[in-house]
Structure 1
Amino acid sequence: MKQNELDSLKNELKQIYDRKIEVTNQNGFLDRNQIPSGKKVYNIETSLMFIDIRSSTVLSSTVGRKTMVKIYQMYTKLCKKAINENNGMILQIVGDGILCAFTNDSTGNSGQRAVYTALSIHTYIAESMNPLLSKEWEISCGIGIRTGHVYVTRLTTDNGSEVAYPSDITNYASKFCGLAEKNQVIIDSKTYDHLNKKFKEYCEPYQTSMPNTYIIKEATWEIE
Protein backbone atom coordinates (compact mmCIF):
# COMPACT_ATOMS: atom_id res chain seq x y z
CA MET A 1 0.00 0.00 0.00
CA LYS A 2 1.42 3.36 -1.04
CA GLN A 3 1.42 6.55 0.99
CA ASN A 4 0.05 8.65 -1.87
CA GLU A 5 -2.96 6.32 -2.09
CA LEU A 6 -3.63 6.77 1.60
CA ASP A 7 -3.23 10.56 1.31
CA SER A 8 -5.64 10.67 -1.63
CA LEU A 9 -8.24 8.66 0.30
CA LYS A 10 -7.75 10.87 3.35
CA ASN A 11 -8.48 13.97 1.27
CA GLU A 12 -11.66 12.43 -0.13
CA LEU A 13 -12.82 11.47 3.36
CA LYS A 14 -12.00 14.93 4.69
CA GLN A 15 -14.27 16.48 2.05
CA ILE A 16 -17.11 14.33 3.35
CA TYR A 17 -16.26 15.12 6.98
CA ASP A 18 -16.13 18.88 6.35
CA ARG A 19 -19.38 18.90 4.38
CA LYS A 20 -22.29 20.75 5.99
CA ILE A 21 -25.30 18.47 6.22
CA GLU A 22 -28.63 20.00 5.22
CA VAL A 23 -31.54 18.48 7.16
CA THR A 24 -35.12 18.71 5.89
CA ASN A 25 -38.02 17.54 8.07
CA GLN A 26 -40.35 15.21 6.20
CA ASN A 27 -43.71 13.77 7.28
CA GLY A 28 -43.35 10.54 5.34
CA PHE A 29 -40.87 8.49 3.35
CA LEU A 30 -40.14 9.70 -0.15
CA ASP A 31 -39.85 7.50 -3.18
CA ARG A 32 -36.28 6.18 -3.41
CA ASN A 33 -35.67 8.06 -6.64
CA GLN A 34 -36.51 11.37 -4.93
CA ILE A 35 -33.81 11.02 -2.27
CA PRO A 36 -30.66 12.97 -3.24
CA SER A 37 -27.12 11.93 -2.36
CA GLY A 38 -24.47 14.02 -0.70
CA LYS A 39 -25.12 16.64 1.94
CA LYS A 40 -28.93 16.55 1.92
CA VAL A 41 -30.74 14.28 4.39
CA TYR A 42 -34.38 13.93 5.44
CA ASN A 43 -35.46 13.71 9.07
CA ILE A 44 -38.54 11.54 9.53
CA GLU A 45 -40.46 10.57 12.65
CA THR A 46 -41.18 6.89 12.31
CA SER A 47 -41.50 3.46 13.85
CA LEU A 48 -38.90 1.13 12.34
CA MET A 49 -39.45 -2.61 12.45
CA PHE A 50 -36.94 -5.42 11.80
CA ILE A 51 -38.16 -8.93 11.02
CA ASP A 52 -35.85 -11.94 10.82
CA ILE A 53 -36.32 -15.70 10.56
CA ARG A 54 -35.00 -17.61 13.57
CA SER A 55 -32.20 -20.13 12.84
CA SER A 56 -32.34 -19.52 9.09
CA THR A 57 -28.75 -20.75 8.61
CA VAL A 58 -29.57 -24.15 10.13
CA LEU A 59 -32.81 -24.28 8.16
CA SER A 60 -31.00 -23.53 4.87
CA SER A 61 -28.60 -26.46 5.34
CA THR A 62 -31.50 -28.78 6.19
CA VAL A 63 -34.08 -28.07 3.47
CA GLY A 64 -31.81 -27.34 0.52
CA ARG A 65 -31.41 -24.18 -1.51
CA LYS A 66 -34.39 -24.64 -3.85
CA THR A 67 -36.81 -25.26 -1.01
CA MET A 68 -35.31 -22.35 0.94
CA VAL A 69 -36.01 -20.05 -2.01
CA LYS A 70 -39.67 -21.06 -1.85
CA ILE A 71 -39.74 -20.52 1.92
CA TYR A 72 -38.21 -17.04 1.50
CA GLN A 73 -40.75 -16.18 -1.20
CA MET A 74 -43.67 -17.28 0.98
CA TYR A 75 -42.28 -15.47 4.02
CA THR A 76 -41.66 -12.26 2.07
CA LYS A 77 -45.15 -12.37 0.55
CA LEU A 78 -46.91 -12.65 3.91
CA CYS A 79 -44.69 -9.90 5.40
CA LYS A 80 -45.55 -7.57 2.51
CA LYS A 81 -49.26 -8.33 2.99
CA ALA A 82 -49.15 -7.49 6.70
CA ILE A 83 -47.07 -4.33 6.14
CA ASN A 84 -49.32 -3.06 3.34
CA GLU A 85 -52.46 -3.73 5.38
CA ASN A 86 -51.18 -1.31 8.02
CA ASN A 87 -49.94 1.41 5.64
CA GLY A 88 -46.29 0.62 6.18
CA MET A 89 -43.52 0.37 3.64
CA ILE A 90 -40.57 -1.96 3.14
CA LEU A 91 -37.25 -0.11 3.17
CA GLN A 92 -34.77 -2.95 2.74
CA ILE A 93 -34.67 -6.73 2.30
CA VAL A 94 -31.36 -8.47 2.96
CA GLY A 95 -31.61 -12.26 2.96
CA ASP A 96 -34.41 -13.10 5.38
CA GLY A 97 -34.09 -9.77 7.19
CA ILE A 98 -36.72 -7.13 6.40
CA LEU A 99 -36.61 -3.49 7.50
CA CYS A 100 -39.92 -1.64 7.27
CA ALA A 101 -41.30 1.68 8.49
CA PHE A 102 -44.53 3.29 9.64
CA THR A 103 -45.37 6.97 10.08
CA ASN A 104 -48.24 8.66 11.91
CA ASP A 105 -51.25 9.15 9.66
CA SER A 106 -55.05 9.21 9.68
CA THR A 107 -55.17 5.46 10.34
CA GLY A 108 -53.31 5.71 13.64
CA ASN A 109 -50.02 6.06 15.45
CA SER A 110 -46.97 4.52 13.81
CA GLY A 111 -46.09 2.35 16.82
CA GLN A 112 -49.58 0.90 17.14
CA ARG A 113 -49.66 -0.02 13.45
CA ALA A 114 -46.19 -1.54 13.64
CA VAL A 115 -47.27 -3.80 16.51
CA TYR A 116 -50.46 -4.71 14.61
CA THR A 117 -48.25 -5.70 11.69
CA ALA A 118 -45.95 -7.77 13.89
CA LEU A 119 -48.89 -9.76 15.27
CA SER A 120 -50.24 -10.31 11.76
CA ILE A 121 -46.87 -11.61 10.53
CA HIS A 122 -46.61 -14.10 13.40
CA THR A 123 -50.21 -15.18 12.81
CA TYR A 124 -49.80 -15.57 9.03
CA ILE A 125 -46.71 -17.72 9.57
CA ALA A 126 -48.42 -19.94 12.17
CA GLU A 127 -51.81 -20.28 10.47
CA SER A 128 -51.19 -19.94 6.72
CA MET A 129 -47.57 -20.79 5.96
CA ASN A 130 -46.40 -23.46 8.42
CA PRO A 131 -49.40 -25.75 7.77
CA LEU A 132 -48.08 -26.09 4.20
CA LEU A 133 -44.60 -27.15 5.32
CA SER A 134 -43.15 -30.31 6.75
CA LYS A 135 -42.90 -30.16 10.53
CA GLU A 136 -39.11 -29.85 10.46
CA TRP A 137 -39.30 -26.99 7.92
CA GLU A 138 -41.70 -24.78 9.86
CA ILE A 139 -40.37 -21.27 10.48
CA SER A 140 -40.74 -18.58 13.09
CA CYS A 141 -39.37 -15.06 13.34
CA GLY A 142 -38.38 -12.44 15.85
CA ILE A 143 -39.40 -8.79 15.52
CA GLY A 144 -37.95 -5.59 16.96
CA ILE A 145 -39.59 -2.14 16.86
CA ARG A 146 -38.32 1.27 17.89
CA THR A 147 -39.97 4.67 17.43
CA GLY A 148 -38.18 7.98 16.96
CA HIS A 149 -36.44 10.07 14.32
CA VAL A 150 -34.36 8.68 11.48
CA TYR A 151 -32.22 10.38 8.85
CA VAL A 152 -32.64 9.20 5.28
CA THR A 153 -29.80 9.70 2.81
CA ARG A 154 -28.39 8.20 -0.36
CA LEU A 155 -24.93 6.61 -0.40
CA THR A 156 -22.92 6.22 -3.61
CA THR A 157 -21.84 2.67 -4.48
CA ASP A 158 -20.04 1.00 -7.37
CA ASN A 159 -23.41 -0.07 -8.79
CA GLY A 160 -25.04 3.36 -8.44
CA SER A 161 -26.39 4.22 -5.02
CA GLU A 162 -28.24 2.84 -2.01
CA VAL A 163 -30.60 4.55 0.43
CA ALA A 164 -29.42 4.40 4.05
CA TYR A 165 -31.21 5.07 7.35
CA PRO A 166 -28.49 6.10 9.84
CA SER A 167 -29.99 6.39 13.32
CA ASP A 168 -29.90 4.81 16.73
CA ILE A 169 -33.52 3.72 16.24
CA THR A 170 -32.42 1.64 13.24
CA ASN A 171 -29.68 0.05 15.32
CA TYR A 172 -31.94 -0.68 18.28
CA ALA A 173 -34.76 -2.08 16.15
CA SER A 174 -32.18 -4.48 14.71
CA LYS A 175 -30.83 -5.37 18.17
CA PHE A 176 -34.35 -5.96 19.51
CA CYS A 177 -35.05 -8.23 16.55
CA GLY A 178 -31.91 -10.22 17.32
CA LEU A 179 -32.98 -10.67 20.95
CA ALA A 180 -36.55 -11.70 20.15
CA GLU A 181 -37.23 -15.41 20.13
CA LYS A 182 -39.98 -17.33 18.35
CA ASN A 183 -43.24 -15.34 18.12
CA GLN A 184 -41.88 -12.48 20.23
CA VAL A 185 -41.93 -8.72 19.64
CA ILE A 186 -39.56 -6.41 21.54
CA ILE A 187 -40.38 -2.69 21.58
CA ASP A 188 -39.06 0.53 23.12
CA SER A 189 -40.90 2.93 25.43
CA LYS A 190 -42.00 5.31 22.66
CA THR A 191 -43.63 2.47 20.76
CA TYR A 192 -45.24 1.34 24.02
CA ASP A 193 -46.66 4.86 24.52
CA HIS A 194 -48.37 4.56 21.13
CA LEU A 195 -50.29 1.46 22.17
CA ASN A 196 -53.86 1.47 23.38
CA LYS A 197 -54.72 0.15 26.83
CA LYS A 198 -55.57 -3.36 25.61
CA PHE A 199 -52.23 -3.84 23.88
CA LYS A 200 -50.26 -2.42 26.80
CA GLU A 201 -51.69 -5.23 28.92
CA TYR A 202 -49.88 -7.76 26.69
CA CYS A 203 -46.51 -6.07 27.25
CA GLU A 204 -44.03 -7.16 29.90
CA PRO A 205 -40.89 -5.26 30.98
CA TYR A 206 -37.79 -6.64 29.28
CA GLN A 207 -34.19 -6.05 30.33
CA THR A 208 -31.86 -4.64 27.65
CA SER A 209 -29.17 -1.96 27.49
CA MET A 210 -32.00 0.51 26.80
CA PRO A 211 -34.25 1.38 29.75
CA ASN A 212 -38.02 0.88 29.56
CA THR A 213 -38.04 -1.87 26.98
CA TYR A 214 -41.00 -4.23 26.64
CA ILE A 215 -41.70 -7.64 25.18
CA ILE A 216 -44.86 -9.22 23.80
CA LYS A 217 -44.64 -13.02 24.04
CA GLU A 218 -46.62 -15.45 21.88
CA ALA A 219 -47.62 -12.44 19.80
CA THR A 220 -50.36 -13.69 17.50
CA TRP A 221 -53.96 -12.71 16.79
CA GLU A 222 -56.80 -14.78 18.21
CA ILE A 223 -58.47 -16.69 15.39
CA GLU A 224 -62.25 -16.22 15.31
Structure 2
Amino acid sequence: MSILTNVELLEISDKIIEVLDSPMEVEEYEGDVVPAVEDLTDANEGLLVECAILFVDIRGSTTLSDTSWAKSMAKIYRAFVRAMVLCVYKSGGRVRQIVGDRVMGVFVNDKEKKGTEKALEAARAIITIIDYYFNPECRKKLMEKKYNVE
Protein backbone atom coordinates (compact mmCIF):
# COMPACT_ATOMS: atom_id res chain seq x y z
CA MET A 1 0.00 0.00 0.00
CA SER A 2 1.37 3.41 -0.85
CA ILE A 3 1.67 6.02 1.86
CA LEU A 4 1.32 9.69 1.01
CA THR A 5 4.34 11.83 1.69
CA ASN A 6 4.16 15.05 3.69
CA VAL A 7 4.59 16.99 0.44
CA GLU A 8 1.65 15.15 -1.14
CA LEU A 9 -0.50 15.72 1.94
CA LEU A 10 0.31 19.45 1.88
CA GLU A 11 -0.48 19.56 -1.84
CA ILE A 12 -3.94 18.09 -1.13
CA SER A 13 -4.40 20.48 1.79
CA ASP A 14 -3.56 23.43 -0.48
CA LYS A 15 -6.21 22.28 -2.99
CA ILE A 16 -8.81 22.07 -0.22
CA ILE A 17 -7.97 25.60 0.96
CA GLU A 18 -7.97 26.89 -2.62
CA VAL A 19 -11.50 25.60 -3.23
CA LEU A 20 -12.85 26.75 0.13
CA ASP A 21 -11.34 30.24 -0.16
CA SER A 22 -12.44 30.98 -3.73
CA PRO A 23 -15.81 32.58 -4.45
CA MET A 24 -18.61 30.28 -5.54
CA GLU A 25 -20.65 31.30 -8.55
CA VAL A 26 -24.11 29.78 -8.70
CA GLU A 27 -26.66 30.13 -11.44
CA GLU A 28 -30.20 28.85 -11.90
CA TYR A 29 -30.36 25.86 -14.21
CA GLU A 30 -32.93 26.13 -16.98
CA GLY A 31 -32.80 22.66 -18.55
CA ASP A 32 -35.15 19.77 -17.94
CA VAL A 33 -32.42 17.15 -17.43
CA VAL A 34 -29.35 17.32 -15.23
CA PRO A 35 -26.28 18.17 -17.33
CA ALA A 36 -23.78 15.41 -17.99
CA VAL A 37 -20.61 15.38 -15.91
CA GLU A 38 -18.60 15.99 -19.11
CA ASP A 39 -20.49 19.29 -19.60
CA LEU A 40 -19.37 20.66 -16.23
CA THR A 41 -16.10 22.40 -15.46
CA ASP A 42 -13.95 21.89 -12.38
CA ALA A 43 -14.28 25.57 -11.51
CA ASN A 44 -15.96 26.80 -8.35
CA GLU A 45 -19.25 27.08 -10.17
CA GLY A 46 -22.55 25.53 -9.30
CA LEU A 47 -25.98 25.05 -10.74
CA LEU A 48 -29.17 25.31 -8.75
CA VAL A 49 -31.33 22.49 -10.03
CA GLU A 50 -34.84 21.93 -8.70
CA CYS A 51 -35.06 18.17 -8.72
CA ALA A 52 -35.73 15.00 -6.77
CA ILE A 53 -33.20 12.22 -6.37
CA LEU A 54 -34.13 8.57 -5.96
CA PHE A 55 -31.79 5.78 -4.90
CA VAL A 56 -32.78 2.13 -5.22
CA ASP A 57 -30.87 -1.07 -4.56
CA ILE A 58 -31.45 -4.70 -3.66
CA ARG A 59 -32.12 -5.07 0.05
CA GLY A 60 -29.72 -7.60 1.54
CA SER A 61 -27.69 -7.96 -1.66
CA THR A 62 -24.43 -8.56 0.21
CA THR A 63 -25.91 -11.51 2.08
CA LEU A 64 -27.55 -12.72 -1.11
CA SER A 65 -24.28 -12.59 -3.04
CA ASP A 66 -22.48 -14.44 -0.23
CA THR A 67 -24.90 -17.35 -0.55
CA SER A 68 -25.41 -17.44 -4.34
CA TRP A 69 -23.38 -18.46 -7.36
CA ALA A 70 -21.47 -15.65 -9.07
CA LYS A 71 -23.23 -16.22 -12.41
CA SER A 72 -26.64 -16.15 -10.74
CA MET A 73 -25.81 -12.92 -8.92
CA ALA A 74 -24.49 -11.32 -12.09
CA LYS A 75 -27.78 -12.12 -13.83
CA ILE A 76 -29.82 -10.87 -10.87
CA TYR A 77 -27.85 -7.60 -10.72
CA ARG A 78 -28.08 -7.07 -14.49
CA ALA A 79 -31.82 -7.74 -14.57
CA PHE A 80 -32.41 -5.51 -11.53
CA VAL A 81 -30.34 -2.60 -12.83
CA ARG A 82 -31.89 -2.83 -16.29
CA ALA A 83 -35.42 -2.80 -14.83
CA MET A 84 -34.65 0.10 -12.48
CA VAL A 85 -33.09 2.18 -15.26
CA LEU A 86 -36.19 1.64 -17.40
CA CYS A 87 -38.47 2.67 -14.51
CA VAL A 88 -36.48 5.86 -14.01
CA TYR A 89 -36.44 6.77 -17.73
CA LYS A 90 -40.11 5.96 -18.31
CA SER A 91 -41.01 8.21 -15.36
CA GLY A 92 -39.19 11.21 -16.81
CA GLY A 93 -35.91 10.85 -14.93
CA ARG A 94 -32.32 10.24 -15.89
CA VAL A 95 -29.89 7.81 -14.36
CA ARG A 96 -26.93 9.65 -12.97
CA GLN A 97 -25.03 6.78 -11.42
CA ILE A 98 -24.96 3.00 -11.13
CA VAL A 99 -22.74 1.44 -8.48
CA GLY A 100 -23.09 -2.31 -8.04
CA ASP A 101 -26.82 -2.81 -7.59
CA ARG A 102 -27.52 0.81 -6.61
CA VAL A 103 -29.18 3.06 -9.17
CA MET A 104 -29.43 6.83 -8.72
CA GLY A 105 -32.22 8.55 -10.64
CA VAL A 106 -32.54 12.33 -10.99
CA PHE A 107 -35.90 13.92 -11.77
CA VAL A 108 -35.78 17.59 -12.79
CA ASN A 109 -38.77 19.91 -12.45
CA ASP A 110 -40.20 20.95 -15.80
CA LYS A 111 -43.24 22.92 -17.00
CA GLU A 112 -45.54 19.91 -16.88
CA LYS A 113 -44.45 18.11 -13.71
CA LYS A 114 -42.36 18.50 -10.59
CA GLY A 115 -39.39 16.24 -10.05
CA THR A 116 -40.98 14.86 -6.88
CA GLU A 117 -44.03 13.70 -8.85
CA LYS A 118 -41.78 11.99 -11.40
CA ALA A 119 -39.76 10.32 -8.63
CA LEU A 120 -42.95 9.07 -6.96
CA GLU A 121 -44.13 7.65 -10.30
CA ALA A 122 -40.79 5.87 -10.63
CA ALA A 123 -41.04 4.56 -7.06
CA ARG A 124 -44.53 3.18 -7.74
CA ALA A 125 -43.30 1.56 -10.96
CA ILE A 126 -40.29 0.11 -9.14
CA ILE A 127 -42.43 -1.42 -6.39
CA THR A 128 -44.79 -2.90 -8.98
CA ILE A 129 -41.93 -4.33 -11.05
CA ILE A 130 -40.19 -5.77 -7.97
CA ASP A 131 -43.32 -7.31 -6.44
CA TYR A 132 -45.00 -8.68 -9.55
CA TYR A 133 -42.18 -9.36 -12.01
CA PHE A 134 -38.63 -9.27 -10.67
CA ASN A 135 -39.01 -11.22 -7.42
CA PRO A 136 -41.31 -13.90 -8.89
CA GLU A 137 -38.99 -14.43 -11.89
CA CYS A 138 -35.89 -14.62 -9.67
CA ARG A 139 -37.58 -17.12 -7.35
CA LYS A 140 -38.72 -19.20 -10.31
CA LYS A 141 -35.26 -19.22 -11.93
CA LEU A 142 -33.51 -20.01 -8.65
CA MET A 143 -35.93 -22.89 -7.95
CA GLU A 144 -35.38 -24.24 -11.48
CA LYS A 145 -31.64 -24.12 -10.85
CA LYS A 146 -32.00 -25.74 -7.43
CA TYR A 147 -34.01 -28.66 -8.82
CA ASN A 148 -32.27 -28.74 -12.24
CA VAL A 149 -35.52 -28.04 -14.08
CA GLU A 150 -34.00 -26.00 -16.91
Residues 89 and 100, structure 1, Cα contact 8 Å, conserved in 2: yes
Mapped partners of 1:101, 1:8: distance in 2: 34
Q: Deviations over 1:42-74 (max 9, x none)?
A: 110111111121101111012222111111111
Residues 53 and 97, structure 1, Cα contact 8 Å, conserved in 2: yes
Partner AA of 2:59 in structure 1: R
Per the TM alignment, residue 32 of structure 1 is displaced from its structure 2 partner at its CA by 2.7
Q: Given the alignment of the two structures, is residue 52 of structure 1 paired with residue 42 of structure 2, yes or no?
A: no
Q: What residue in structure 1 maps to residue 19 of structure 2?
A: 16
Mapped partners of 1:84, 1:109: distance in 2: 15
Q: What residue in structure 1 maps to residue 146 of structure 2?
A: none
Mapped partners of 2:113, 2:58: distance in 1: 28
Gaps of 5+ in 2: 144-150
Residues 51 and 114, structure 2, Cα contact 8 Å, conserved in 1: no
Mapped partners of 1:110, 1:9: distance in 2: 37
Which of the numbers 44, 56, 59 marks the counterpart of 1:39? 44
Mapped partners of 2:68, 2:39: distance in 1: 40
| Structure with higher strand content | 1
Bigger Rg, which one: 2
Q: Given the alignment of the two structures, is residue 26 of structure 1 paired with residue 63 of structure 2, yes or no?
A: no
Residues 63 and 137, structure 1, Cα contact 8 Å, conserved in 2: no
1:133 is paired with a residue whose SS is helix
Per the TM alignment, residue 135 of structure 1 is displaced from its structure 2 partner at its CA by 6.2
Mapped partners of 2:38, 2:12: distance in 1: 28
| Structure with higher helix content | 2
Mapped partners of 2:127, 2:99: distance in 1: 19
Q: What is the alpha-carbon root mean square deviation over aligned residues? A: 2.3
Residues 85 and 103, structure 2, Cα contact 8 Å, conserved in 1: no
2:106 is paired with a residue whose SS is strand
Mapped partners of 2:5, 2:137: distance in 1: 58
